[in-house]
Amino acid sequence: MIGHGFMGAAHSQGWRVAPRFFDLSAQPEMTLLVGRDAARTEAAARKWGWEQTETDWRAAVARDDIDVVDIVTPGASHAEIAVAALEAGKHVLCEKPLANTLDEAEAMAAAADGAAGKAMVGFTYRRVPAASFARDLVQSGAIGEIRQVRAVYLQDWLVDPEAPLTWRLQKDAAGSGALGDLGAHAVDLAQFITGQKITAVSGTLNTFVHERPLLGEASGLAGTGTEERGPVTVDDLALFHSRFDGGAIGSFEATRMSTGRKNALRVEVAGSLGAVSFDLEKMNSLGFYDAGAPATRLGFTDIMVTEPEHPYMSAWWPTGHMLGYEHGFTHQVRDFVEAIAEGRQPEPSFADGLQVQKVLSGVERSAANESTWTKTES
């Protein structure tokens, strides 16, 4: 695994737990953790269960005893590492969004196309059992013709203007702000549940806080304390409308400025016969509306997605016992390892990641074109 931190912890948990709850066709060995700082990397490896450490990702990719490369670094390095790993014959799991730019994403998808190794992008929320079950219901025809999609991803960790300037707020490291960090998840989940691709967008981006305190040298950013400030070069808020190739219309919102909302990813799909409603903050249930029910029983029903017949649930606890955020990463490892063992393309593929990148790029281009705004004053 190359990189550590928040996603390093989540991915490590997945690699460690998956073979203990699922009967995998191949057994992953947590051999090597790679990070720029030797001491911090060694501490993370001890904590999470990695056998060895390395500070040079190129040396790691060149090793003959490494079969899989898991990339959890900031987006600026995704393309270089992934392409090199694929060229070295490795299987590659890469965190989302696939890249910082459309050109980088295209290069990654091209490298994956025909490579000896398999490649997958980590849109983990697909693997929340309720989200997977939502797709199953929609694909079975339970809600009829899909007409509307509403998706929001709301967080509030940047509401305070004194929150420090991290790499996620710098375009050269992160590519974009709320659009790529959160909007990518909403786009992928909407396309996954509906089975339709977004073909056109119209959107706007906004930055509310333009400067923030610098973190200091330990962060990799310039400056030594909070007295100095640096520019925020990404968006705080993304709003856009979309058209899907199956005829549906969608609305999307991604923000890290939604006061009071911590991790509210919500997707609702409305059809001619019913609707489904997924809420990550209520991740063990799925809202389902059956328009064919008697008038006296109309209304959304909360389906508890904890039965053994629900996606992934047969490996876990008795009916009614809850899963959490971390389980999606375990399911991700399960699906990735099984695809490799069976010699098939895992999903979402780098091509799927490229499709999401095209949507993000389209929103950025639309937002940059001020002529899309219609003024209400004469």
Same domain? For 168 and 306 the reply is yes
Per-residue confidence (pLDDT) for residue 374, from 0 to 100:
73
260-299 tens-digit pLDDT: 999 999 999 999 999 999 999 999 999 999 999 999 999 9
Same domain? For 68 and 180 the reply is no
Q: Quick check: is 209 in a domain? A: yes
75-124 tens-digit pLDDT: 999 999 999 999 999 999 999 999 999 999 999 999 999 899 999 999 99
Q: Quick check: is 339 in a domain? A: no
Q: Is 148 exposed, middle or buried (0-12, 13-18, 19+ CB in 10 A)?
A: middle
Bridge partners of residue 301, in order along the sequence: 288
Distance (Å, rounded) from C-alpha 333 to C-alpha 328? 9
Task: For the chain, give the mean pLDDT.
Answer: 95
Output the CA torsion 11→39→77→13 (10° steps).
Answer: 0
Which of residues 125, 157, 178 is at a domain's end?
125
Q: Quick check: is 349 in a domain? A: no
Residue 220 has pLDDT above 80, yes or no: no
Task: CATH number of the domain at 150, please.
Answer: 3.30.360.10
Same domain? For 48 and 156 the reply is no
Per-residue confidence (pLDDT) for residue 165, from 0 to 100:
97
Which of residues 72, 102, 125 is at a domain's end?
125
pTM of the complete model: 0.95
Same domain? For 86 and 197 the reply is no
Per-residue confidence (pLDDT) for residue 224, from 0 to 100:
45
Same domain? For 117 and 135 the reply is no
Per-residue confidence (pLDDT) for residue 372, from 0 to 100:
66
322-338 tens-digit pLDDT: 999 999 999 999 999 99
378 — pLDDT class (breaks 50, 70, 90): low
Q: Could you give the number of structural domains in the chain?
A: 2
301-313 tens-digit pLDDT: 999 999 999 999 9
Measuring CA to CA, how many Å separate 165 from each of 144, 196, 227, 273?
46, 37, 12, 47
Spatial contact of 215 and 225, defined as CB atoms under 8 Å apart: no
Spatial contact of 266 and 152, defined as CB atoms under 8 Å apart: yes
Q: Quick check: is 292 in a domain? A: yes
Same domain? For 107 and 183 the reply is no
Residues 6+ apart with CB under 8 A from 123: 96, 184, 185, 188, 189, 192, 348, 352, 353, 356
Residue 250 has pLDDT above 70, yes or no: yes
Backbone phi, psi, residue 13, to 5°: -60, -40
Residue 218 has pLDDT above 70, yes or no: no
Boundaries of domain holding 74: 6-125
Q: Quick check: is 333 in a domain? A: no
Same domain? For 169 and 310 the reply is yes
Q: Quick check: is 338 in a domain? A: no
Same domain? For 111 and 137 the reply is no
Which of residues 70, 103, 125 is at a domain's end?
125
Same domain? For 22 and 159 the reply is no
For 296, the 3-state DSSP assignment is helix
Same domain? For 12 and 96 the reply is yes
Of the ranges 2-11, 61-70, 172-181, 210-219, which one carries the lowest mean pLDDT score?
210-219
Does residue 372 or residue 375 have the better pLDDT?
375
Q: Quick check: is 378 in a domain? A: no
Same domain? For 44 and 181 the reply is no
Same domain? For 153 and 264 the reply is yes
Which percentage of the chain shows pLDDT scores above 70?
A: 96
Task: CATH number of the domain at 89, please.
Answer: 3.40.50.720
